[in-house]
Amino acid sequence: MRVGAIVVAAGASRRMGGQDKLWLPLGDLPLLGHTLAALAAVAEIDQLVVVSSPDGLRRLANLRARQPWCVVDTLVEGGAERPDSVYAGLLALDPCEFVLVHDGARPLVTPHLVRLGLAAARDHGAAVPALPVVDTIKTVDAGGYVVATPDRATLRAVQTPQVFRYDLLLEAYEAAGPARSGCTDDAMLLERLGLPVATFPGDPRNIKVSTPADLPLVTLYWQDRQQ
């Protein structure tokens, strides 16, 4: 079974006050370095593709040859939106049976979580890590008024890595075409085709760094690992 991995690292970091979050330090590595090191530790992954901005590609190209954590097989320039970047990564992969897609801004991913996803995808074809929602969620209208309160027991917060049979994910992306714009995760495209997507237990510490407020928590979790 051949497995490819795509790390999505082409975002604009708009909510980080102008800083490129992927290159912020966490210990002796940038955030993206921890992400890549975790995936490089998974022997089941045969090819690692990073999709990044032009500036990110230059940084990665400089680091790849001299940093032990920077185990990257292929560098690809990203697109205008996340789905464009993932599609570019799919096309850059060598033939494989399964593909996992992971956010570069989730530096605390573990090999254990990756292997859970691979096992679930082998059984179901598509699988995403999910956590129960602890807050009460409201749906609202354009004016901000509450429309409904979904049953919390049916809600999940979804993370990455999301793992798919390669042919299913490629089919979903090509079927969506330009309509993939605005999709915030890859599973949405399979859902549109009526294809089943399983869930597997996510990791509460596998958080995505999106705003400056996320950095202290990621740092705390990382420091706890070092003890």
pLDDT, residue 73, reads 84
Is 137 contained in some domain? no
Is 110 contained in some domain? yes
Is 134 contained in some domain? no
- Give me the domain span that covers residue 71: 3-129+156-226
Is 25 contained in some domain? yes
Task: Read off the CATH number of the domain in which 120 is found.
Answer: 3.90.550.10
pLDDT, residue 13, reads 58
pLDDT, residue 14, reads 63
- Mark 212-227 as b/e (b = at least 16 C-beta within 10 Å): eebbeebeebbeeeee
Is 16 contained in some domain? yes
pLDDT, residue 162, reads 98
pLDDT, residue 18, reads 64
pLDDT, residue 178, reads 86
Best CA proximity match to 168, nearest among 114, 90, 104: 90
What 8-state DSSP symbol labels residue 63? H
Domain count of the chain? 1
Is 151 contained in some domain? no
β-pairing verdict for 25-26 and 74-77: unpaired
Best CA proximity match to 102, nearest among 68, 65, 51: 51
What is the pTM for the complete model shown?
Answer: 0.93
Strand partners of residue 221: none
Mean pLDDT per 10-residue interval, the chain, length 227 residues: 94 66 90 92 95 90 67 87 95 97 97 98 98 96 97 97 98 91 92 96 96 94 90
pLDDT, residue 89, reads 97
**E-state strands within the chain:** 3-9, 25-26, 29-30, 47-52, 74-77, 98-103, 126-132, 139-140, 146-148, 156-158, 162-165, 198-201
